[in-house]
Amino acid sequence: MMQQYRAYLVGEDGVFRSAEAFEAPSDSSALTVAKQFTRLGKVEVWQLGRKVAVLESEQSRPPLPEPSRPMLTRQ
């Protein structure tokens, strides 16, 4: 059964700048859909009057660390 969700783009001042309504079968599916909006900024995901999650902006995420490599020792 599909549920109604909204993804709100949050401005730097904390005020909602825009909203996108969509349907998804579950919270996890809704978060997958809403992640596409994080390239524009921070996103709050709501299902009716219930806040599901706050997703940080892709731009504010630190880069992923490089995989560590074992150090070679000389003998």
Per-residue pLDDT tens digits for 47-73: 999 999 999 998 765 555 555 555 565
Average predicted confidence (pLDDT) for the chain: 86
The two tokens of residue 75 are 């003998």
Q: What residue segments make up the domains of the chain, in order of their start?
A: 3-60
pTM of the entire predicted model: 0.75
* Closest alpha carbon to 40 in 26, 64, 20, 24: 20
Hey, CA dihedral for 17, 23, 27, 33, is it positive or negative? negative
Sheet holding 16-24, edge to edge: 16-24, 3-10, 42-47, 50-55
